[in-house]
Amino acid sequence: MKKFLFIAFLSLMSNSLIAQTSRIEIREQLDTIVNREGHRSYNDTATLTAVGRYIENEFKKHTTHVYHQTFIVENKEYFNVVGLIGDTTKPRIVVGAHYDVCNELPGADDNGTGVVGLLQAIAQLKNDTLGNYCFEFVAYTLEEPPYFRTEYMGSYVHAQSLAARGIEIYGMISLEMIGYFSDEKKSQGYPLRILKLFYGSVGDYITIVRKINTGPFTRDFSGKYTRTKRVKTKKFTGPQQLAGIDFSDHRNYWSLGADALMLTDTAFFRNKNYHRATDTIDTIDFERMACVIEALVITLRKMNG
């Protein structure tokens, strides 16, 4: 009897670390985000707002702690969507992705895939209310030009609000394009040609992008994520001045001194559909994208103890 109970206990513990992502569901969610009459850009506020409302409704399926973070830019109203899982008195692990697009483009990989990653993560972690950290899921607006690198970025607004309230950030993960992969030779580029000698020329992996002098969160996340073995993973560490290393929302947490990283398929260094009309759903590798998300959920669950 004791042996049976012990085996049952191990089975329960093992299942608690399993992440299951429906390939059909992530395609449907991405389709809902991308395939609309308008474009979720800063100058199409109706469509941008509609997508934000969709994200909000999806968040509300999994937590009661959902709110808008509204701000005004050039007399127009924009908002981030925030959903919380866990004890809000504990340090935060922020998981974020921007839902706006550049110009009038589909933005399937950039950054519909990142948003779907958010929706899946909050759904799968909704019962993980006890642990070392509070998960804060954020869908940002205004990451793209003309507001990139300005105080009007949704992630800048969010990061500053946490700092102003004195909320401790243990770490931050930016989901920035997680759905494009290639098994072709010479499909992967780099900001420096010499990097190809170390990382190869095939774009068949997900990358954890970190800056030099990373903190405990980044080191812990990187190790645990890689060990899930759900998807081929490579870690890249470089100076913040290197082209592309801060090209997403994590940059605004770095500016606060927070420990942050970017999970990415490397964007324009691999995906030639970047900021083009060809960035459509049919270019996404849903199998490997699902594995990226599953590894994320498993890692966060392990980090939360």
pLDDT number for residue 6: 42
Spatial distance between the Cα atoms of 196 and 262, rounded to a whole number of angstroms: 20
pLDDT of residue 44: 98
Would you state the pLDDT for residue 1? Answer: 43
pLDDT at 17: 60
Global pTM value: 0.94
Three-state DSSP state, 85: strand
The whole-number pLDDT of residue 2 equals 44
- Cα gap 164→166, rounded to integer Å: 5
Q: At what angle do helices 45-60 and 23-34 cross, to 10 degrees?
A: 150
Q: Is the dihedral of CA 169, 62, 293, 70 positive or negative?
A: negative
Burial letters for 177-188: b for 16+ Cβ neighbours within 10 Å, e otherwise? bbbbbbeeeebb
pLDDT of residue 228: 98
Cβ neighbours of residue 6 under 8 Å, at least 6 residues apart? Answer: none
270, 96 in Cβ contact below 8 A?
no
pLDDT in tens, 230-250: 999 999 999 999 999 999 999
Question: What pLDDT is attached to residue 19?
Answer: 77
Q: Please report the pLDDT score of residue 14 as a whole number.
A: 40
Separation of alpha carbons 144 and 140, rounded Å = 10
CB 161 within 8 A of CB 73: no
Among residues 247, 243, 264, 126, the alpha carbon closest in space to that of 191 is found at: 243
From residue 51, how far is each of 33, 55, 223 by CA, in Å? Answer: 6, 6, 34
Helices 286-303, 216-228: crossing angle, 10 deg rounding: 130
**Residue 82 belongs to what H/E stretch?**
strand 76-85
Q: Where are the domains of the chain?
A: 20-303
Q: Which residues contact 133 (CB under 8 A, 6 or more apart)?
A: 86, 90, 91, 92, 93, 170, 303, 304
Spell out, as residue ranges, where the chain has pLDDT lower than 70: 1-18
- Please say whether the structural domain 20-303 has been given the CATH code 3.40.630.10: yes
Q: How far is 145 from 122, CA to CA, in rounded Å?
A: 28
Nearest to 209 by CA among 191, 228, 183, 197: 191
